[in-house]
Structures are given as structure tokens and as C-alpha cells.
Amino acid sequence: MADDRDHAGELGAGDSASADVVDARPDRSSFVSSVFRKKNKNGSTRSVRIPRDRVPTYQYNMNFEKVGKCIIINNKNFDKVTGMCVRNGTDKDAEALFKCFRSLGFDVTVYNDCSCAKMQDLLKRASEEDHSNSACFACILLSHGEENLIYGKDGVTPIKELTAHFRGDRCKTLLEKPKLFFIQACRGTELDDGIQADSGPINDTDANPRHKIPVEADFLFAYSTVPGYYSWRNPGKGSWFVQALCSILDEHGKDLEIMQILTRVNDRVARHFESQSEDPRFNEKKQIPCVVSMLTKELYFPK
């Protein structure tokens, strides 16, 4: 599917010239803050910080020379054989993400219009680099997609084949470090109509240098939508998920824990966006992102 059914936008933004779209194509037969607002006496608002207890034992160590590498794969144009349309608006996403992750301290590189082989090669080579002086790794995929698949410019490739390069048994210098994947792409062709609503302590084993770590541990996958559904993108503003992600990261990226951040992203996408399309089949649709976490500790980006 595509994350580009360019027929949706922020709620109330009824600009037909910038209708929202999904990052999929319907016919795929040829392809398999802890901050609350309080009013003071003169009626203005001020931020009130709520104390938060952090237990270092349960947090990832971010005290490294580098935060880490961030790879952004931005696929906008696709070979005719794929049947996929141009993903207008994705350059807005890539630009916003570049600035956002660079401000978090990542070393960010953007790669445009990658083939499936190119995506595999980029991530394989990244996994073979020495990350000993890095706290974590991040990868952002912007493309058309289907369930468990992501499009290169020339076809589809399994997402798992891209991410598996960073398993604990294959990328030793990222062992026990967070590996973050953000995926803006469709995961099916279902549409969400929406529904009206009212408003343990460490034990001796942990200190044993011989203890085992699951090879799939310390991954986090933040998908723009849940399995089976379209993912929406606005040609003028970018995808809903990336707009929300960058907004929350800019505001709370160095304050909140990653799951708190992504929960707020879920809330923003769910409540602030609704598709606007001249095609009634795609009008007034909703979207909810999906977070799959195998993280074993809390993740706070360094201030």
C-alpha cells in the first residue's frame, strides 16, 4: 500500500488543492510532558513541571561520545512497473525529520529514491560499522508499503530483512543499546471511519558478564498506522505521523521517555487529523499509529 492517499490533512484544513492521500495503491494484485498548564493570577499560562523519579538502573546508558547514527530513507519516485504513484509531501517529512533528529544529537543522513537492493546495502553496511562510541541507532523509512513490506523504487522488500541486520547476534556494537525504527508507510487497504466519542530490583544474574540477551531485544518499531490499514500523507504538509512525531519531539524530545513521546504522537494523530478527499470513499477517515517495543529499559535522549 502506499502511505500516500494524498487525501487527508489536519482536522479542519479543507484545502482541496492539498487533499490527503495514502501510501498505498488499492489494486496490488501485481505485487505481492510531564507538563501541565496552570493559570496564574493574571490569567496567563505557565508550565508546571511535575517531578519524575528516574532510576538509572532501568534506563539506557546515553553517556557515550555520540548519540548515534540516524538513516532516513526517503522514497518519493517509483519505477512504473511497481504501479506506485509519486509520494508528494515526503520531502517535507524528510526535511523535518532531518532537523528534528539532528537537534536530538544524531548524525543524520538522508538517502532518496532507493532500490530494494540499495536499502538492504545501506542498512547492512550501517550494521557492520563500529557503534561502540554511540548510545543508540535510528532508521526512518518513508515509502509506500504493505503489511510487513516496504517499497523500494523498484519493488518491495520485507521490513524484517532490513531490520534483522541489527540483531544482537549480527551487530555486536549495538548490543543492549536501543535500535529505533520509524516507518511511514501503509500496512494494508483498510480505512478507519472513526467513531464519535465524548469528550524488580537487579539480581546477581544481571551482573554476570555471561548472561544471555535475546537477539531481538532492544528494538523499537514505531509504525505510522496499525496492521492492515492505510497511512495518510498530505502533499503540502507531509504525512500525519511525521508531522505529529516531529512536533512532539521538538517539544518534549529531551524531557519525556520515548514511550511517553510516542503515546503523545498517537494521541495527536488520532485527535488532530481527519482525511479530506473529493472521493467520498476516502473522506473523513482516521488513523492511529502503532508502537511495537522490545526495549528493555527506559530511553531518554540526552539534554
Task: Give pLDDT tens digits for 236-248.
Answer: 999 999 999 999 9
Distance, in Å, from the CA atom of 156 to the CA atom of 177, rounded to the nearest integer, reads 29
- Mean per-residue pLDDT for 254-264? 98
Residue at 97 is within a domain:
yes
Phi, psi of 103 (to 5 degrees): -70, -25
Q: Cα–Cα distance between 108 and 121 in angstroms, integer?
A: 17
- pLDDT at residue 45 in the model: 45
pLDDT at 3: 55
- Contact yes or no for 106/70 (Cβ under 8 A): yes
Q: Which residues contact 48 (CB under 8 A, 6 or more apart)?
A: 35, 36, 37, 38
* Sign of the torsion formed by the C-alpha atoms of 256, 258, 259 and 263: positive
Q: Of 28-32, 74-78, 101-105, 276-280, give the lowest mean pLDDT range.
A: 28-32
**Residue 184 belongs to domain spanning:** 67-190+214-230
Interval 28-37 mean pLDDT:
42
At residue 168, the pLDDT reads 96
pLDDT tens digits, one per residue of 160-214: 999 999 999 999 999 999 999 999 999 999 999 999 886 544 344 344 556 788 9
Per residue in 102-145, pLDDT tens? Answer: 999 999 999 999 999 999 999 999 999 999 999 999 999 999 99
Q: What is the mean pLDDT of residues 274-281?
A: 94
Averaged pLDDT for residues 50-58? 66
Whether the Cβ atoms of residue 156 and residue 114 lie closer than 8 Å to each other: no
Of residues 271 and 9, more confidence is placed in 271
Percent of the chain surpassing pLDDT 90: 75
pLDDT of 25 higher than 70: no
What CATH number is attached to the domain comprising 169?
3.40.50.1460
* Positions marked active-site: 144, 186
For residue 149, is it within any domain? yes
Q: For residue 270, with 0-12 CB atoms within 10 Å meaning exposed, 13-18 middle and 19 or more buried, which class applies? A: middle
pLDDT category, 27, cuts 50, 70, 90?
low
How confident is the model at residue 56, as a pLDDT?
76
Q: What's the whole-model pTM score? A: 0.84
Residue 2 forms part of a structural domain: no
Q: Which amino acid is at 82?
A: T
Residue 224 covered by a domain = yes
- The C-alpha angle with vertex 184 and arms to 301 and 12, in degrees rounded to 5, equals 100
Report the candidate in 229, 240, 75 with the shortest Cα–Cα distance to residue 157: 75
Cα 34 from Cα 100, distance rounded (Å): 20
> Residue 259: what are its φ and ψ, rounded to 5°?
-70, -30
What's the whole-number average pLDDT of the chain? 87
Using pLDDT thresholds of 50, 70 and 90, give the confidence band for residue 53.
Answer: low
Q: What is the pLDDT of residue 22?
A: 83
Q: Which residue intervals of the chain are DSSP H helices?
A: 90-103, 116-127, 159-163, 240-252, 258-272
Q: What confidence tier does 66 reach under pLDDT thresholds 50, 70, 90? A: very high
The answer as to whether 248 is a domain residue is no
Indicate the angle between helix axes 258-272 and 240-252, nearest 10 degrees: 130
Does residue 202 form part of some domain? no
Top pLDDT among 34 and 75 is at 75
Distance between CA atoms of residues 242 and 240, nearest Å: 6
54: in domain: no
Count of structural domains, the chain: 1
Residue 10 confidence class, pLDDT cut points 50, 70, 90:
very low
